[in-house]
Amino acid sequence: MTLSRLALAMAALPLALQADELPLEHAALQVPALVITSGRQVEPLAKTTAATTVFTRPDIERLQVSSVADLLEHVPGVSVVRTGGAGSLTSVFLRGTSTAQTLVLVDGQRIAAASSGTSSLEFLDPAQIERVEVVRGARSALYGSDAIGGVIQIFTRQGTGDGLKPYARLAAGSHQTVERSLGLSGGDAQTRFNLGAGLDETAGIDATRDSFGANGDEDAYRNRSLSLNLSHRFNDDLEVGVSALDQRGEVEFDDVFFGTLPTTNFQLSSLSAFADARFNALWSSRLELGHSEDKRDNGDDLQDLDPSQFNTYRDSASWVNTLALSDAQQLLVGADWYEDRLHSTTDFTEESRWNQAAFIQHRYRGEAFATELGVRHDKNQQFGSENSWNAALTLPLNAANDLVFSYSEGFRAPTFNDLYFPDFCFFGSCFANANPNLRPETSKSYEVQWRSRYRDDGALELSLYRTDLQDAIVLDQDFIPQNVGTARINGFEAALKQELFGWQGNLALGLIDPRDRDSGHTLARRAKRTLTLDLDRRFGSFSAGASWRGVSGRYDDAANNVELGGYGLVDLRGGWQATPEVGLEVKLENLLDKDYAEASYSTPNGRFGYNSEGRTALFAVTWTPAL
């Protein structure tokens, strides 16, 4: 396939899909109807077996989101919990699973902290992001640990390959918020690059509602971001590239126990390099090498104390091979390796561990049905071995409707905090805080999907699923982690896309019933019902849009004694392309100034809900000069 043919396939996707001439992974990121994360290879979105939501760069700009969490709220089955304003601790519950039970990747690299197991999505700047893919449902058979609820993969911003294109954006709004970003994108048919930088600052809000100690101050946030993406295609069959993302800054938050003024200096970064090769018509291969870091220095503005540090360093390598056995059969064979290292002012009993894995997956696609069957074997330095399976059956009802039946397994390895946190010693007596004998959490999920492309301008996807969790890690009466928890999550999702009277509508519905099987209680901080509706339309050089999000009430504790009320939020947005080079945007969030809380906290003065930002406004100017 020549370069000219590749360009034609990218421009006319249906022809490319009919010919099964899918581009290499880096080029596929420019095509909304192709995905990568679901099957660890380039494939049409309509042919994936896992429920998948894709946000492209135009989607990010259309929705005018200020954080990755804002974007994820448009995904069916996702519930987001924040503990204050910008930069505050943010939890994402995908299909009722915990934050640590969802794998987060940046350009293929894991970014979760080895100490806590959570990923700092609150620090990722959308200005540096090209694309976000959200795979809903367990994918441990392909990715290993943490992929119980699903996989969120974030791709850094890329060059378009059609000459130099500088861009700059300046935004200002409520709470003394200022967002600045600029970059240069460029390239040609062989080489593409993008270099971007950003600086976001806000005075923030007071995250807490009580007046205990110093809790009455506003919690400021500052984030500097830098991204680089470079790729070179030597020929139709070989492409290499590197990408880097670095986020660093400072966030203030309230100490709900002692009323001090704590701050966190953070750095979240990833670096990856890849070689994508197509050796012949039957065999293509991708090799990736990566490094990621999550650094935290926790200090206090009121006390001159040495900051506590929790720094994670991770090196990784993966090799994925796709073998076309015939026109109808395909084999995916791969191997993964990564090593976590923890440097901390806390003296953990172990500070490193490695994980190595191999996986294989077979696919068959015929006229009457399609199948998928895969298995992965992980070997971990600490807990030994774990096997994960997945299987799927797709039945095409007709040209516009498919049924997909699937079974998938997931697991999550215990964190360094769970396994190696040092004992607490007081006046000669020591008490355990960790359990080195913990086993991984495991899950089994069953799902049926109906996918309908009922019109050229409309599509409907419905999912009904059940997830059973075993060996969940919980704290016993002595606050020592144990494998004693079991849970059952039943859920239903609907995603509808429809154009009506010139307006593009997107609806995302999630209904879940997440239960602790031992107590019968609802799992904490999971909203049982979420609904997001987006409406957007262009009027020549003008654009207008609105979003409504409804979230049901939730329990904020495992015993279900603390209940937080539900809420509904209305956002408005608009844009004007004043000239070919200058665009203006405005957005109003929480238009009705709804007072709500997504989480609560306890102090000596009682229990309170964290503050939300209330009504906010942001005005932005984007400049894209022609060179």
DSSP annotation of 407 reads E
Q: Where are the domains of the chain?
A: 3-623
The residue whose two tokens read 């004998």 is 437
Fold of 3-623: Maltoporin; Chain A (2.40.170)
Nearest CA-CA partner of 571 in 601, 592, 597 = 592
> Cα separation of 377 and 387, whole Å?
5
pLDDT computed for residue 259 by the predictor: 60
pLDDT > 70 fraction of the chain, expressed in percent and rounded: 93
> Cα separation of 207 and 609, whole Å?
9
**193-247 pLDDT, tens per residue?**
999 999 999 999 988 877 665 567 788 999 999 999 999 999 999 999 999 999 9
Cβ proximity of 268 and 293 under 8 Å: yes
Tokens of 432: 């355990």
**280-338 pLDDT, tens per residue?**
999 999 999 999 999 999 877 656 666 788 999 999 999 999 999 999 999 999 999 99
Cβ proximity of 156 and 131 under 8 Å: no
Averaged pLDDT for residues 510-529: 94
pLDDT computed for residue 289 by the predictor: 98
DSSP strands (E only) in 456-581? 458-475, 481-500, 503-516, 529-539, 542-551, 554-555, 563-564, 567-576
* Residue type for position 420: Y
Give the three-class secondary structure for 68.
helix
Residue 6 scores a pLDDT above 80: no
Cβ proximity of 280 and 271 under 8 Å: no
Tokens of 470: 């075993």
Give the three-class secondary structure for 76.
coil
**168-178 pLDDT, tens per residue?**
999 999 999 99
Residue 533 scores a pLDDT above 80: yes
Tokens of 505: 């509508």
pLDDT computed for residue 510 by the predictor: 97
pLDDT computed for residue 10 by the predictor: 36
The string of DSSP codes covering 316-337 is EEEEEEEEE-SSSEEEEEEEEE
pLDDT computed for residue 4 by the predictor: 37
Tokens of 465: 């699923």
**369-410 pLDDT, tens per residue?**
999 999 999 999 988 899 999 999 999 999 999 999 999 999
Alpha carbon 323 to its chain centroid, in Å, reads 29
Sign of CA dihedral 142, 145, 149, 154: negative
